């Protein structure tokens, strides 16, 4: 199988969920890497410089995913992730997990450090669709 549609990093502590994302995205010709924690995820971002990051909201602690995304998207010129801040982030959340985090790119984009959300349980077609959209909107730049 040709894996040329893009490099995707999955930061998720649930191994079974990683398998799921891998299975779906690899079937659609993406190259998928994974990291089981926020710390390793950040390391891998530097290592691999992926085209897109799939990030779980709940890692070791609730909301850790948000902190990680905030680090990656920091506008601070001193930030060590400055050169990675353009990488789109797709967040995974449990259904209505935190109702407050119900996401809409138009209204929440300013303060939520992610380009889009997918709710768990994940519908495979929705995941593929969102990944494709994010990579397409990024492509022209």
Judged by the rule CB under 8 A, the positions of this chain that interact with another protein are 14, 16-17, 19-20, 23-24, 27, 58, 94-97, 99-100, 120-125
Nearer to another protein, 95 or 136 (CB): 95
Nearer to another protein, 24 or 91 (CB): 24
Q: Which residue has the tokens 């990291």?
A: 35
Minimum distance between the CB of residue 122 and another protein, rounded to whole angstroms?
Answer: 5
- The span from the first CA to the last CA of the chain, in angstroms, equals 28
Output the six-digit token pair for 33: 């890497």
Nearer to another protein, 22 or 138 (CB): 22
* Cβ atoms 19, 10 nearer than 8 A: no
**Range 122-129 contact pairs with CB under 8 angstroms and sequence separation of 24 or more:** 122/20, 122/21, 122/92, 124/24, 127/21, 127/24, 127/25, 128/24, 128/25, 128/28
Minimum distance between the CB of residue 19 and another protein, rounded to whole angstroms?
Answer: 8
Instruction: Give the residue ranges of DSSP H helices in 74-123.
Output: 105-108
Minimum distance between the CB of residue 29 and another protein, rounded to whole angstroms?
Answer: 13
Minimum distance between the CB of residue 100 and another protein, rounded to whole angstroms?
Answer: 7
Nearer to another protein, 31 or 74 (CB): 31
């Amino acid at each position: 199988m040709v894996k040329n549609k893009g490099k995707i990093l999955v930061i998720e502590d649930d191994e079974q969920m990683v398998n799921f994302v891998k299975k779906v995205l690899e079937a659609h010709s993406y190259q998928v890497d994974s990291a089981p924690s926020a710390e390793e995820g950040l390391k891998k971002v530097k290592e691999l410089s992926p085209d897109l990051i799939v990030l779980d909201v709940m890692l070791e602690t609730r909301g850790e995913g948000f902190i990680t995304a905030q680090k990656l998207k920091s506008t601070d010129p001193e930030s060590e992730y400055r050169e990675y801040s353009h990488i789109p982030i797709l967040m995974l959340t449990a259904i209505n997990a935190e109702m407050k985090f119900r996401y809409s790119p138009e209204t929440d984009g300013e303060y939520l450090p992610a380009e889009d959300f997918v709710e768990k349980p994940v519908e495979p077609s929705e995941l593929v669709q969102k990944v494709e959209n994010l990579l397409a909107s990024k492509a022209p730049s």
